[in-house]
Chains A and B, each alone.
Chain A
Amino acid sequence: MANNAALFNYILRLADTNLILGHRLSEWSGHAPYLEEDIALTNVALDLIGQANSLLIYAAKVEGKGRTEDDLAYMRNEREYYNSLLSEQPNGDFAQTIVRQFLADNFDVLLYESLSKSTDETLAALAAKGLKEATYHLRHSKAWVERLGDGTEESHTRTQNALNQLWRFTGDMFAMNQDDKELAKAGIAVDLGKIQSTWLKNVEQLFVKVKLSIPAEAWQQSGSREAKHSELLGFLLAEMQHLHRTYPEAKW
């Protein structure tokens, strides 16, 4: 293969975003507003962690250095993680979790639609499977954005605050480095520039409907493509990796 390192890095980006967002959602387990939503959020978390698992298995194979998916998940530090900045943002209140999820689900659906046509057969197959899950996740987060945005004055205010807080991290999802561009040219990776306008149109459509406004400030935080994160990721990884690093041979 022409550029194994580039492909390895690209798969890590896909896997890490799912893993970190899945971990964030799992933090709701036992704390969601009511039982049914607790199960709904942890279902989404499990789907995302499942996708991350499959992708990390593939990443380990592509890397070919004998590392396993667990090594990749539990033994990398934050400067070796390529998850989107959006995925690591804290749960905040329920509105913030839902807005984060809605922005991410819209992205995932478009990403997987496009990636399911990848010339890389493994990525295409994983994307086709992920697309079904992402389609349901979007149905769920969209239903909640509609209801919170169009609900009471308090739910509307909280949802608008969440959007104000999270919008600056959305541009980072579409960042591409030179390797990504070459992988896209080869038909392996998704050309994210091509899905960005559709993504914007889709999220804007719902926000307009429920009278939420996208923040006017144009500034966008970037960095995840260079594994540059906020301090939030370190705390998350500390919790996620603690058990494995303390008891490397632990099995269940």
Chain B
Amino acid sequence: MSKDTQGILWEVFVQSKPGQPHRHCGSVHAHDRELALQNARDVYTRRNEGTNLWVVPSNYIVSSSPEDIGPFFEPANDKIYRHPTFYIIPEGITHM
């Protein structure tokens, strides 16, 4: 296999409107921060998707692993009282 000359991998986060959270939308290759930002702009915001961009070197992302599914997430399944479903929401409140 030939040596990879595309640079390292960066994760791309796009903010669609001011005030909205940045959402992960994919990744790009680049050799440095400025070109990572430009590549992200060119690959992910060509169709007017964004007002702001973050790029983060992929190796800075700390991820849980598939084996963690049991201990990490399953205990939440039977704690229905953690969901605010027992409250009566007054009429007229739309965003809950």
Contacts and interface: CB of A to CB of B under 8 A. Distances in A.
Contacts of A243: none
Contact of B29 (A34, A43, A136): A34
B38 A34 contact: no
Nearest to B28: A36
Interface residues of B, number: 16
A238 interface: no
Interface stretch (B14-22, B39-47, B70-78, B86-94): B39-47
A9 B38 CA distance: 36
A63 to B, nearest CB: 33
A2 interface: no
Interface residues of A, number: 13
A136 B31 CA distance: 19
Q: Which applies to chain A's interface (DSSP): helix, strand, loop or mixed? A: helix
Contact of B34 (A34, A40, A143): A143
A5 interface: no
Contacts of B46: 39, 43
Given A34-B5, A147-B31, A39 B38 contact: no
B42 A43 contact: yes
A37 B5 CA distance: 12
Interface of A: 33-37, 39-40, 43, 136, 139-140, 143, 147
8 closest A-B pairs by beta carbon, nearest first, are A36-B39, A34-B6, A40-B42, A39-B42, A43-B42, A36-B28, A39-B43, A143-B34
